[in-house]
Amino acid sequence: MKHHYHYKIYSSVAEIPDSWDTLAVSNIFLTKDYLKVLDASRPKNMTCHYIGLFDNEELTGIALSQFIDLNQVGSFGERDNCFKTSVRNFVFRNFTSHVLFIGNNMLTGQNAFVFAKEFGAKQGISLLHDAAKELQQRFKKQGKKVHLTTFKDFFTEDESVLNAPEFESFYRFSTQPNMIFTIPKQWTSDTDYIAALNKKYRDQYKRAHKKLDGIEKRKMGLSEIESHNTTIQNLYLNVSKNAPFNTFFLAENHFYELKKQLGHNFLFYGYFLKEKLIGFNTLIKNGDTIDTYFLGYDDEHQREMMVYLNMLYDMIKYSIKKGFREIIFARTALEIKSSVGAKPYDMVGFMQHSNPVIHKFIGKIFKSLEPETVWQQRNPFK
């Protein structure tokens, strides 16, 4: 049979083909259950589309796109000095405020697409490139001109994607690395992890553990997440507003919807002091990988009790105990993540500005606006 490659763009999970999850099985972040979370609780400034790639009538690829309107974000980040922040905000609002992502801007990693084995990356990238052009036209008709089109995040060894001819006219960029903790096969409990640490970092672990005295950590179910919803959102915003750069803020019902749709694959841990929720972290099971998701805490107890560091240790302990292969710690807080054993992996993306004149200078603009991160990699193991 002659090949006839084409794509279809869907605006909601209700529209996507029944066979979608046969491809999404390798990545939970492209399954119907996760996409339902985006339908029900995506950030207010985000519009999602789901793309099916076909060979004749057979579904051979699936992908996610997110359109983000940065004008609807009250603050891109409050941590940097005022002048740099104000300049960056002006440039973003006026020249790059409408961004179309092929991929998931809420996660770190290649969560953009899955292709069937017999369907090559060459054909897949070509179809996604065409789908992105159609999405640009759709948004234009709605009065929303797409300034930047971005494909993200790819590991540097993924040559079949990186060398795609469609990306020749794009600017190739990399931001902070993806921090990944690889769990040795022979480890079966946190005892193995602690034994592998050198003295300095074993002392750090003991010191942090002692600081958490009086804190009760517990797994929270759907009803408990709902009853603590306001506190959870405040703790999340306390952390996210101190990030150097924000392109969105999570909807208030986001964690509730994740638990509702993903069930046992979404873990929500609350940290309580005298029954008051002072912090939380979240994990998502993705095959043999654990993805760390958003977290929150208050400043007072974080400083006093080393809450964040203890959360990292707890994530490692859980993942070892349950036999996972690796933990995706994602970007941000690179140094402290390396101090618990995560290693940096460079990731790249591709961007193209709709204005050819601005696109010529997109590399210089990007480098001047991307918050520079100076950090020292640690090695906690013997």
CATH number assigned to the domain comprising residue 303? 3.40.630.30
Is 305 a domain residue?
yes
Say how many domains are in the chain.
2
85 vs 318: which has the higher pLDDT: 318
Is pLDDT at 76 greater than 50 in this prediction? no
Q: Calculate helix-pair angle for 82-95, 362-369, nearest 10 degrees.
A: 140
pLDDT single digits (tens) 259-286: 999 999 999 999 999 999 999 999 999 9
Is pLDDT at 175 greater than 90 in this prediction? no
Residues 141, 239: one domain?
A: no
Q: Residue 76 maps to which CATH number?
A: 3.40.630
Is 90 a domain residue?
yes
Q: Give me the pLDDT at residue 83, please.
A: 56
Is 266 a domain residue?
yes
* DSSP H or E stretch at residue 181: strand 178-182
Residues 159, 193: one domain?
A: no
d(CA 352, CA 359): 6
Of the candidates 31, 179, 53, the one whose C-alpha atom is nearest the C-alpha of residue 109 is: 179
Instruction: Measure the CA angle with vertex 220, ends 216 and 222; round to 5°.
Output: 160
Is pLDDT at 81 greater than 60 in this prediction? no
pTM to 2 decimals? Answer: 0.93
Is 278 a domain residue?
yes
H-state helical runs in 212-306: 222-227, 229-240, 254-262, 299-305
Is 115 a domain residue?
yes
What CA–CA distances, in Å, run from 34 to 258, 262, 355, 359?
7, 7, 34, 34
DSSP-assigned beta bridge partners for residue 7: 53
Residues 148, 30: one domain?
A: yes
For 304, list phi and psi in degrees, rounded to 5: -75, -35
Residues 94, 234: one domain?
A: no
Q: Which of 135, 168, 201 finishes a domain?
A: 168
Residues 156, 253: one domain?
A: no
What pairing do the DSSP bridges indicate for beta strands 266-273 and 215-219?
A: antiparallel
Mean pLDDT of 171-176: 92
Is 382 a domain residue?
no
pLDDT single digits (tens) 110-147: 999 999 988 888 899 999 999 999 999 999 999 999 99
What pairing do the DSSP bridges indicate for beta strands 98-102 and 58-69?
A: antiparallel
Is 367 a domain residue?
no
Residues 139, 249: one domain?
A: no
Average pLDDT, rounded, for the chain = 92
276 vs 370: which has the higher pLDDT: 276
What CA–CA distances, in Å, run from 378 to 146, 179, 292, 342, 347?
40, 12, 20, 9, 20
Mean pLDDT of 245-255: 91
Is 185 a domain residue?
yes
Residues 153, 275: one domain?
A: no
Q: Give me the pLDDT at residue 332, please.
A: 86
Residues 92, 17: one domain?
A: yes
Residues 223, 299: one domain?
A: yes
Residues 53, 110: one domain?
A: yes
Confidence of residue 2 (pLDDT cuts 50, 70, 90): confident
Residues 157, 14: one domain?
A: yes
Task: Show the domain range for 38.
Answer: 5-168
Residues 151, 226: one domain?
A: no
